Structure 1
C-alpha cells in the first residue's frame, strides 16, 4: 500500500464514516480530532520501535484520535469505544500494555489455547494470539480500560500484520475486527449506513448520549469454536 494511495483510501473511508455519523449521531462529529502533524506520528514509531501500518499513519493525518465523551455533554463518542487515542496516548497506553507482559511458557502455547477454546473459557475469532501485553501490538483505543482496540503487528498464522483486534480481557475475548485499519473504517461506515436505513438490521447499538456501544464487531456464539489456525492443534490441559 503506497503512501498516497493509503491516504486517499483512508480519507474516503473516513468521509463515509463522517457521513454516516451525520445521519445517525451528528452530535458526535465535533469529537473527531484535528489531524496529527507528521513529526508526532514519526515520534510514535520511534518511541515504540515499530513501523505503523501506512493506512493508520494516514488516518492520524486525518483525525488524531477522538475526544472523551461525557454523559450529558451533548457530544457522544463517534466510535464504539470511549475514544480513539491521539499520538501521545498511543505511546503511553501501549507502554502500559507492554508493562503487563509476563511470558508464561506453560500458558502462551497454541495447544493450551486450543484447550481453553474447547472448554469455552477463551473466545477467539480469527488469527490472533491471546497474549496480554504482547509486544507486537499497538493500543489505539479503549472502553472503560477493559476493552481495547489493537493494531496487531505480529498476527497468528493466516493473519495480516496491522489487523485490528478487539480485546476484552475480562471476558477473555479476542476478535479480529478487520484485516486493516482502512477495512475497519469501511466496515464501520457500512454499519452506520445500514443503521440509518434499517436500525434493526445493523450490528450497531447507539446511545444518543454516549455513542455506539462497544459490543460492535463482537462475534457471538464462539464458545467451543476454534479459529482455523488452531483447528488441527492437539489440545493440552496446562493443569495436567
Structure 2
C-alpha cells in the first residue's frame, strides 16, 4: 500500500469485532471500532475513513439506517455490509441503502480482505492503475507529473494527473462533472465549478489530444459528462 488505509469496523459482537481488528491491523490497516450505531456515527463525524465494515443488525441505530443516513449526508466512504442474514431481500435492502458490497456471516477473513481490496480499487484510482500507466497512447508518471509519447514528453499539473488517473481507473464509463469535481477537487460542486471542470478538461485535451477540437481520448457525452475511450 502507498499509504495506510483507515478502516472503521462497526460490529456489536465483541469476539467478531476484535478478530476483525486484529486481522486487519496485522495486514497493515489502521483500524477503529464501534460497538453500536451511536458510536459509529460519532466516529464518522470525528474521522475520515477509507472503508467502513458495517454490521446490519446493530443496537440503537441499525446498519441499514446508518448507511442511508451517511449517503444522504453525501458521505461517499465505501461501505461493506456484514450480516448473518443471507436472504435475497436483506441483501437488496442493504445495497439499496447505499452499501457498496455485502458479505454474509460466517465468512473467511481472507474473503473479507479480498472484498475490502476490491472496493478500494474501485474507489481509489491510485490503487486501480498505480502511479505509472498507459493512457490513450501516453506513458503517464503521476509521481513525476510527466507524460510522454514517441520520445516527446511534457509536464502536467497535479490536478491534471489526478484527472488522468481517475479516467484511467474508469475506462468506458461516463463520468459526470459532479463526480469528477468531487474526486479530483475533494469537494462538492455548487454551480460555478461546472465551468472549472470544463476549463481543466480543455487544458488537458490540449496536452494529450492530437486534435483538441475533436477529442478521441476524453470525449464529451452530451448532457452527461465525459468518458475515457481506451
Higher fraction of helix: 2
Higher RCO (C-alpha under 8 Å, 6+ residues apart): 1
Please indicate, yes or no, whether the TM-score normalized by the shorter chain is above 0.5. no
Higher fraction of strand: 2
TM bucket by the smaller chain? under 0.3
In terms of Rg, which structure is larger? 2
